[in-house]
């Protein structure tokens, strides 16, 4: 095969009639630009002529897509919870190890940057002696853990829309996974009232409030959502309440029907537009929140 | 008006009225007449565009990239009159139905892919397709059309149904359409536009060709 790996057709390294290999190639492959694949497939001997190529393509896409659909539909909330917890563990440990490696490396090399970026640079170095080797090896493990964290996050991006299409679209895949993990599953999230969804992840603040030591928390982890964080502080309570209400409905739609409900998303966008319009309407007034 | 219909799409008397129809295995319990099956313009944006007399530039037998194939209702009619048809859909549930539609046809290739990321299927979908049919209900519909222009023949056609409510529910549909067309015109020459409201509320049909 003369074509460059990254811009090769799906059939480049697939033996004819090997449906498993075809599935991997169609699912995982990519190319920046398309090409005249039918002609290239005939030239490379993958198919006898373009009709034969299309027959093979039909078989391959039917198989690949059937398997991919089955896999996406099999994905469940338990897997998502494991994945999101693993993301957090990898991130924490990667940072700890990177910090240790960088601190150690600073005593041996000049110009060492901090954090994961610093660990990546150290990992590239040549060792002069045994201690160098240990420092460099430690740094490369921190970098590898950071890579694993990114790979896990990419997996969550793929799996979350299959597990919870509405929640993932509304909250983004990572926040959706975190909400499911905090609630202990999609079913228990679906059974929570929206006020609970609003403060998931703010348990410390909530219990401080319940024992009379603090004001009620306005938001938990949904703070990371652009609708909350991107709204001016005096309207954030309203924004958090509106978002939590729709997230609760999205979780219910995902758990009980599993179908995407466009109207939920439209309602939320409409509500957010109204809340944000307040900032334009009375931008020069102060306070005036409905909390 | 029927001059603008491609070969393989006809107006036929089915079920007590004159209906658009294509020849192929039935998909969703639509009325049939022999091997012809009715194409409901209320369930299909492209069907609506044909019904309204858009000049789609299609004559039958084309290679087509269909973005947002959903359960395959419209994609099935396209595959009936077109040539090789690549059907891209991102959601697993409707794709399961699309698979049954594809199973019953020789040249309909289903792909579980995100139309916003053409690089994830450019190793499968061939270059130089004659038409892109686009019906995706996400924000950034013009961006999807722009990114997928890489697949289209220089004189090919983009047949696009823009859904105003997917872009911004709070804005006036006309304002949304103006914005979408402006973005589209950076990559395409827009040949024809018309509201599809008779069949699909707050939708704009667009025919365009690469610049």
- ipTM (interface pTM): 0.94
Closest CB to B91: pick one of A10, A25, A260.
A260
Residue B202 assigned ligand-binding role = no
Q: Which residue of B has its CA nearest to A268?
A: B169
CA A264/CA A267 separation, integer angstroms: 5
Average pLDDT across chain A, whole number = 89
Contact A68, B112 (CB under 8 A): yes
- Mean local confidence (pLDDT), B109-138: 95
When pLDDT is cut at 50, 70 and 90, the band that residue A39 belongs to is very high
The answer to whether residue B30 is domain-embedded is no
Q: Which residues of A touch B168 (CB under 8 A)?
A: 269
pLDDT tens per residue across span B100-115 = 999 999 999 999 999 9
Q: Is the pLDDT of residue A142 over 60?
A: yes
Least confident of A59-63, A219-223, B60-64, B166-170: B166-170
- Mean local confidence (pLDDT), A192-198: 94
Closest CB to A37: pick one of B92, B106, B126.
B126
Please state, in angstroms and as integers, the Cα–Cα distance from residue A240 to each residue in A182, A218, A235, A248, B75, following that order. 17, 7, 9, 12, 40
Average pLDDT across chain B, whole number = 93
pLDDT tens per residue across span A228-275 = 988 999 899 999 999 999 999 999 999 887 788 888 999 999 999 999
When pLDDT is cut at 50, 70 and 90, the band that residue B3 belongs to is low
Distance from CA of B75 to the nearest CA of A (A): 15
CB atoms A9 and B124 under 8 Å: yes
pLDDT tens per residue across span A94-110 = 999 999 999 999 999 88
The answer to whether residue B172 is domain-embedded is yes
Least confident of A270-279, B99-108, B142-151: A270-279
Q: Which residues of B touch A33 (CB under 8 A)?
A: 122, 127, 150
When pLDDT is cut at 50, 70 and 90, the band that residue A44 belongs to is very high
Q: Would an 8 Å CB–CB cutoff place A65 in contact with chain B?
A: yes
The answer to whether residue B29 is domain-embedded is no
Distance from CA of B94 to the nearest CA of A (A): 9
- In chain B, the number of structural domains is 1
pTM of structure: 0.67
- Mean local confidence (pLDDT), B68-76: 94
Distance from CA of A219 to the nearest CA of B (A): 26
CB atoms B92 and A26 under 8 Å: no
Q: Which residues of B touch A21 (CB under 8 A)?
A: none
The answer to whether residue B110 is domain-embedded is yes
Q: Which residues of A touch B125 (CB under 8 A)?
A: 34, 37
Fold of A164-279: Serum Albumin; Chain A, Domain 1 (1.10.246)
List chain A domain ranges.
Answer: 19-74, 76-163, 164-279
Q: Is the pLDDT of residue A285 over 50?
A: no
Domain with B100 in it: 40-210
The answer to whether residue B32 is domain-embedded is no
Instruction: Indicate which CATH number applies to the domain containing B158.
Output: 3.40.50.150
CA B152/CA A150 separation, integer angstroms: 34
Please report the pLDDT score of residue A290 as a whole number.
Answer: 43
pLDDT tens per residue across span B154-197 = 999 999 999 998 887 778 899 999 999 999 999 999 999 999 99
3-class SS shares of chain A: helix, strand, coil, % to 5: 70, 0, 30
CB atoms A258 and B93 under 8 Å: yes
CB atoms A36 and B126 under 8 Å: yes
């Amino acid at each position: 095969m003369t074509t460059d790996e990254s811009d090769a057709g799906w059939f480049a390294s697939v033996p004819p009639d090997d449906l498993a290999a075809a599935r991997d190639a169609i699912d995982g492959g990519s190319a920046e630009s398309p090409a005249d694949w039918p002609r290239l497939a005939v030239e490379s001997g993958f198919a006898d002529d373009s009709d034969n190529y299309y027959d093979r393509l039909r078989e391959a896409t039917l198989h690949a897509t059937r398997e991919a659909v089955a896999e996406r539909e099999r994905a469940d909330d338990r897997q998502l919870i494991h994945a999101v917890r693993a993301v957090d563990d990898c991130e924490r440990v990667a940072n700890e190890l990177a910090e240790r490696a960088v601190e150690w490396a600073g005593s041996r090399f000049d110009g060492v940057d901090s954090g994961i970026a610093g660990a990546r640079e150290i990992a590239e170095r040549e060792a002069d002696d045994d201690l160098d080797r240990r420092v460099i090896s430690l740094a490369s493990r921190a970098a590898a853990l950071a890579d694993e964290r990114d790979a896990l996050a990419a997996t969550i991006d793929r799996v979350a829309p299959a597990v919870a299409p509405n929640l993932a679209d509304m909250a983004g895949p990572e926040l959706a996974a975190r909400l499911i993990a905090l609630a202990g599953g999609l079913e228990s999230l679906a059974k929570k009232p929206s006020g609970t969804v609003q403060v998931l992840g703010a348990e410390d603040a909530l219990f401080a409030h319940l024992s009379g030591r603090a004001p009620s928390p306005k938001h938990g982890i949904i703070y990371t959502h652009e609708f909350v964080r991107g709204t001016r502080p005096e309207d954030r309570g309203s924004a958090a309440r509106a978002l939590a209400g729709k997230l609760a409905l999205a979780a219910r739609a995902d758990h009980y029907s599993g179908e995407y409900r466009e109207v939920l998303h439209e309602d939320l966008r409409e509500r957010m537009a109204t809340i944000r319009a307040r900032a334009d309407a009375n931008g020069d007034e102060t306070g005036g929140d409905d909390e | 008006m029927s001059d603008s219909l491609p070969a393989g799409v006809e107006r036929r008397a089915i079920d007590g009225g004159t209906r658009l129809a294509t020849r192929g295995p039935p998909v969703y319990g639509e009325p049939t007449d022999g091997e012809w099956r009715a194409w409901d313009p209320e369930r299909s944006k492209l069907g609506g565009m044909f019904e309204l007399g858009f000049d789609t530039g299609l004559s039958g037998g084309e290679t087509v990239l269909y973005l947002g194939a959903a359960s395959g209702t419209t994609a099935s009619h396209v595959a009936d009159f077109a040539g090789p048809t690549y059907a891209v859909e991102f959601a697993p549930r409707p794709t399961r139905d699309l698979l049954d539609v594809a199973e019953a046809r020789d040249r309909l290739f289903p792909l579980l892919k995100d139309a916003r990321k053409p690089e994830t299927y450019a190793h499968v979908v061939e270059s130089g397709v004659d038409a892109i049919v686009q019906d995706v209900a996400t924000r950034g519909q013009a961006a999807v059309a722009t990114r997928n222009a890489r697949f289209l023949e220089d004189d090919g056609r983009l047949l696009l149904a823009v859904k105003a409510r997917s872009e911004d529910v709070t804005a006036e549909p006309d304002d949304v359409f103006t914005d979408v067309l402006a973005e589209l015109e950076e990559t395409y020459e827009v040949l024809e536009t018309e509201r599809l409201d008779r069949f699909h509320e707050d939708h704009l049909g667009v025919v365009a060709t690469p610049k």
